[in-house]
Amino acid sequence: MNTNLKTSVIGSYPVSVNTMDLMNSYFDQHNITWNKYIDEAVHDMITAGITCVSDGQTRDPFIQIFTRKLQGCRIRDRTEIIGKITYANPITIDDQKYVKTLLPKGKELVGVLTGPYTLMKSCVDQFYHNEQELAFDFASALKAEAQQLEHIVDFISIDEPFFSINYPEYAYELIKTITKDISCPSRLHVCGDVSMIVPELLDMPVDILTHEFKASPHLFNAFKEHDCKKKICLGSVRSDDTRVETVEEIVTHIKQGIQIFGEKLIQVSPDCGQRLLPKNIAFQKLQNLVMARRKIDE
């Protein structure tokens, strides 16, 4: 049953970064010091037994990772938009290439992009005064990143938490700007309560959908009412709660997912990025997720 079901992460992983290293990295993003944090995150994911790992997004919070390298952005408390958004240099490419060298055979790499709508909503706009135009320029810049990522990673995941707060009418076209003609599979992550936009999500121009099924178990019913045309990555341990779910509890949750999605269920993961959890808790959650996945075949 479901032998192709893989364990995955959403993106971020907690590592405690030394303040001096953090400051130095702002002057020289290519400094070798940073690799030790990526090593730490990737090592934990591999040790826990996760199949589809990420770079841990250790370098910056998920907005600044992108806005720090895009032209038109200025980093203050929040990112300010002070000019036209353009893609000047690769953003996550060097880190992804580095992670690739760390992966044993059989592991997969997910390239994570913070979605254009979420980037737009998280910045203070002093230039466009037009949300849609700004969002589409972010999308074009992310497309340029995706065109390089597709040659390195096994699939690309786009994080759009803001879709659960406000779903724009141009959401489909926005995501399509990134995923069109990309050769590797794509995944869309929307955390929060997405029960009101399930039909729209099921039509999205991506291969895989991933949501917080553990924190919002009523999503099972919301999806059950629709014909699921997408592959699913099932959020199976919470990312906003330090209680470590037991293996048995996760097994029950995954089995519920299999009942509803059948073969469409191809990945199980934490509900969201794990950045805000204590490191030992994040690790234990991944370990239990892997053990639960193994029990599904027994």
Among 191, 232, 234, 250, binds Zn ion (CB under 5 A): 191
Nearer to Zn ion, 2 or 92 (CB): 92
Which window, 61-69, 144-152, 270-278, 280-288, contacts Zn ion (CB under 5 A)? 270-278
**How far is residue 163 from each of residues 30, 103, 114, 117, 234, measured CA to CA in Å?**
33, 32, 12, 8, 18
**How far is residue 295 from each of residues 76, 249, 252, measured CA to CA in Å?**
47, 12, 10
Site for Zn ion in 100-139 (CB under 5 A): none
The site that binds Zn ion (CB under 5 A) totals a number of residues, namely 3
**Whole-angstrom Cα distance, residue 272 to residue 213?**
10
Task: Count the neighbouring beta carbons within 10 Å of the beta carbon of residue 249.
Answer: 15
Nearer to Zn ion, 191 or 250 (CB): 191
- In angstroms, what is the minimal distance from the CB of 25 to Zn ion? 24
**Whole-angstrom Cα distance, residue 109 to residue 151?**
11
Q: Does residue 272 belong to the site contacting Zn ion (CB under 5 A)?
A: yes
- In angstroms, what is the minimal distance from the CB of 290 to Zn ion? 20
- In angstroms, what is the minimal distance from the CB of 118 to Zn ion? 9
Residues 6+ apart with CB under 8 A from 43: 102
Q: Does residue 188 belong to the site contacting Zn ion (CB under 5 A)?
A: no
Binding track over 142-161 against Zn ion, x by CB under 5 A: -------------------x
Nearer to Zn ion, 72 or 161 (CB): 161
Residues 6+ apart with CB under 8 A from 77: none
State the residue for tokens 């489909």: 172
Nearer to Zn ion, 156 or 251 (CB): 156
**Whole-angstrom Cα distance, residue 64 to residue 85?**
14
Query: In the beta sheet, which residues pair with residue 109?
Result: 53
Site for Zn ion in 159-178 (CB under 5 A): 161
Nearer to Zn ion, 137 or 159 (CB): 159
Task: Count the neighbouring beta carbons within 10 Å of the beta carbon of residue 290.
Answer: 20
Which window, 122-130, 162-170, 183-191, 258-266, contacts Zn ion (CB under 5 A)? 183-191
- In angstroms, what is the minimal distance from the CB of 157 to Zn ion? 10
Nearer to Zn ion, 82 or 276 (CB): 276
- In angstroms, what is the minimal distance from the CB of 72 to Zn ion? 25
Which window, 49-57, 94-102, 184-192, 250-258, contacts Zn ion (CB under 5 A)? 184-192
Nearer to Zn ion, 211 or 251 (CB): 211
For the chain, the maximum distance between any two Cα atoms, rounded to a whole number of angstroms, is: 57
Q: Does residue 201 belong to the site contacting Zn ion (CB under 5 A)?
A: no
- In angstroms, what is the minimal distance from the CB of 161 to Zn ion? 5
Nearer to Zn ion, 191 or 194 (CB): 191
- Which residues contact Zn ion by CB under 5 A? 161, 191, 272
